[in-house]
Amino acid sequence: MNYIYHLLIYLDIYIIIAMSLNLLMGYGGLLQLAHAAYYGIGAYVTALLMVKLGWGFFPAIILSSMVSGILSLFVSLPAWRFKGDYFVMLSLSVQVAIYSLLYNWTDLTNGPFGITGIPRPVILGFKFDDIKSIFGLSTAFALLCGAVMFILLKSPWGRALKAMRDDELAARGLGKNTRLLKLQAFFIACAMVAVSGGLYATYVSYIDPTSFTLDESILMLSMVVIGGIGNFRGPIVGALTLIAIPEILRFMNIPDAIAANARLLIYGLLLIIMAHVRPQGLAGEYRFK
């Protein structure tokens, strides 16, 4: 039973990640490859505040969101001028730079050895110690993030973001400040992914830079592309699908050494098949160009 709860906690975490990435890709038309780095910033800031400064879970996760949101300027400012492939390359460089920082700033992050002993969340004196209660917490966060995203996407702000995605020049001609829209979208998406990073750090109690590599960014991207972008349900379907794949492989009695590679192979194949057969994803409504 614990195994199921473990999977559901991961599902909650990845739903938050996929929803935040969908805001950028599906609604903003901005293909971001540095999402795992901001996930890492959320995890590290939460962990450091809790372990080194003894902060509580809530203040730590709020500050980590703010830090991640502010650091989103590394990608949102270049997005003012760079588009398409150039922006992808730029976000890739931000991903590599942040990963290198986590790996090499050993005084702060303990480098490749990571941070151990991250305490479990305590809210109003209640300690989320067992897996069931952590699942309850992660689900509450997923629902909260889902509600925030739902309201935003249905609001005039979400509509203006879609207009920018469809035709930035026409949107500007209607008085939409697309620079501000990009800053806001990146701030919200990076702050939200930092929440999932904080949840992840307190759940696994140990983090190191290998959890926030480019591979992780590509996994997040795959979730959004396979599930479908441009609507609310697509990323949820994507997270569910990509969390399920390795678990299905596990039950197929494939040796561990092969299973890891087979999983990557299946992700790759799925991306190619989706691009040809259903470019808008399993449940999406917008085709990323």
Q: Per rule CB under 8 A, is residue 65 in the interface with another protein?
A: no
The CA distance from 238 to 248, in Å, is 15
Asked if 178 touches another protein (CB under 8 A), the answer is yes
Per rule CB under 8 A, is residue 83 in the interface with another protein? no
Choices 1-9, 103-111, 168-176, 254-262 (CB under 8 A): range interacting with another protein: 168-176
Beta strands in the chain (DSSP E): 122-123, 126-127
Of residues 1, 53, 124, 169, which one binds another protein by CB under 8 A?
A: 169
Which of the stretches 158-166, 211-219, 249-257, 266-274 binds another protein when contact is defined by CB under 8 A?
158-166
According to CB under 8 A, which one of 6, 176, 233, 278 is a site residue for another protein? Answer: 176
Q: Following DSSP, what letter does each residue of 199-211 receive, concatenated?
A: HHHHHHS-B-GGG
d(CA 101, CA 64): 16
Nearer to another protein, 155 or 210 (CB): 155
- Residue 150 near another protein by CB under 8 A: no
Nearest to 201 by CA among 19, 4, 44: 44
* For helices 214-227 and 233-251, angle between their N-to-C axes, nearest 10 degrees: 110
- Give the per-residue contact string, 198-237, with another protein (x = CB under 8 A; - = no): --------------------------------x-------
Is 151 or 264 the residue whose CB approaches another protein more closely?
151
- 232-250 as b/e: b if 16+ CB within 10 A: eebbbbbbbbbbebeeebe
Among 54, 125, 175, 255, binds another protein (CB under 8 A): 175
